[in-house]
Chain A
Amino acid sequence: MANLLYEKWLDGEGVLVGDGAMGTMLQATGLEPGDAPERLNGENPDAVRSVHEAYLRAGSDVITTNTFGGNSLRLALHDAGDKVFEWNKAGAAAARQAADAQEREVIIAGSVGPTGSLLQPVGDLHFDEAKDDFAEQCAALAEGGVDVILIETMSDLEEVRAAIKGARAVCDLPVFCTMTFDTHGRTMMGTSPEEAVRAVAGFGVQAFGSNCGNGPNEMEEIAGKMFRAPSGFPLIIQANAGVPKMEGNQVVYEAGPERMADHARRCSDLGIRYIGGCCGTTPVHIQAMIEAMKGSGEQGSEES
């Protein structure tokens, strides 16, 4: 089914606003720390749907499925390697339900995170095994009804390539990708934003960008660097709400809604086409970000 919001956006219209953290919000609903968040897709899909609903109420155009760790290599660490299909499909379906209850059109991004293993030659994981793992996950996400595949938080270009190949092997959905530039301005494997943009241009993605690992300040620098490499595809920025700090036993993110709102406006002024948050970003942050972007007259869903 064609997604009109996506089609218009791809033609150059507007800025998509994403969502924020999922895991921390699920922890409030009884997810054991350390357990696979994807388990809830199977066992408590209502909890997952209600997080999506909170972001939709805040105004998100794109909601991201609770399937970040849903490949078999990662689920196997929780003795759930055989749940890939069930939990990914259920995760997509929970987002689909929340989206279909909206009057406006929204985009469901099927989250695909790293395998957690290092690929050869640095590590032991074979390219084909990674590709097959990603294919298995993407097939389930497609079946559950996502609109795009969002390959997220990657550090290694080889793994990005494996994930894109895996997705392409099982579905025709658009593929977005983000990497995490958290180590001296590069990914932990040493890839710079400019190098990443050039490389993924050759892999064929519909959008590319940076998520997680950085707060708004560093993200704006990364955005600038990505623009320096000619790409031809829309760029994505999803910052953490600043750096996590411990206050007693609580994790507190230092960037409040105002800082994230300011950040969203700057990103949209720069020409970033898909702006969201990551760890520490809540529906309150997203709402503030949308307000700020309205002010600069850029937000996509308000124009149609």
Chain B
Amino acid sequence: MSRNQELTEGIIRGDRENVIRLVREDLEAGRGPVPILNEGLSPGMEKLGDQFGRGEVFIPELMAASKAMNAAMEILRPLLEATGVEPLGKVVMGTVKGDMHDIGKNLVCMMLRGAGFDVIDLGVNTSAEQFIEALENSGARILGMSALLTTTMNRMGAIIETIRKASFGEEVGIMVGGAPLDEIFAANIGANGYAKEAPLAVERFKELHAALRP
């Protein structure tokens, strides 16, 4: 097995200890952080994401892989920044008011962190005011909202409206997700993006981030 395959396999199996060891060894051998991430680790997350979408693996596998990915990113992040690779943006995340479901949102947060985003997680039951405050204080211009109930998803539109009224509201790229939503609903409430699954969500967040940069 090649080095990259070992890294990829380590992520897929969620073998945190092994992934940490492999990353350290690679760095000591003089390999750069960018190829370790792009050729070794990320393909693992992508493959597992596909398997998750097909129902071949489930939450435990995706959580374990995300934890391994996050551990590797802890090591790589400072090095990536030092090589001038711009960190991906800050993201404010939360489950909307009245909704206590957070398993899916937490998965998205973990995978975003694994991908290099700086995530400010507001938890569950989050009001428009709390979202605005966090955006204001952190300077983040990307917001993710999750809802799992048909009652609470119907409040997302009003939350988006309130956020748009804030002084910086029009600058914010807003992603929505959660089992009962779909693309059409997201477009109707004025969100800038939607994803059915966490792995796809990471791609959408990257697109939003790219679109935001002047």
Contact = CB atoms under 8 A, between A and B. Distances in A.
Nearest to B104: A188
Contacts, number: 51
B61 to A, nearest CB: 8
A246 interface: yes
A189 B100 contact: no
Interface size band for A: 20 to 34
A34 B57 contact: no
A251 B150 CA distance: 7
B150 A188 contact: no
A34 B149 CA distance: 9
Q: What's the dominant secondary structure at chain B's contact region?
A: loop
A188 B59 contact: yes
Interface string B92-118: 000001111001000000000000000
Interface string B47-78: 00000001101111101100000000000000
Contacts of B63: 118, 122-123
Contact of B99 (A34, A121, A190): A34
A123 B58 CA distance: 14
B192 interface: no
B4 interface: no
A1 interface: no
B2 interface: no
A295 interface: no
B150 A246 contact: yes
Contacts of A190: 57-61
A249 B64 CA distance: 38
A132 B164 CA distance: 45
A189 B97 contact: no
A77 interface: yes
A37 B196 CA distance: 29
B152 A34 contact: yes
B151 interface: yes
Contacts of B18: none
Contacts of A33: 98, 149, 151-152
Given A34-B98, A77-B124, A184-B54, 20 more contacts: A33-B149, A33-B152, A34-B97, A34-B125, A34-B151, A34-B152, A77-B100, A116-B100, A118-B63, A118-B103, A122-B64, A184-B55, A186-B55, A187-B58, A189-B59, A190-B57, A190-B58, A244-B150, A246-B180, A249-B154
22 contacts: A33-B152, A34-B97, A34-B98, A34-B151, A77-B124, A118-B59, A118-B63, A118-B103, A122-B59, A122-B60, A122-B63, A184-B54, A184-B55, A185-B55, A186-B58, A188-B103, A190-B57, A190-B58, A244-B150, A244-B180, A249-B154, A251-B150
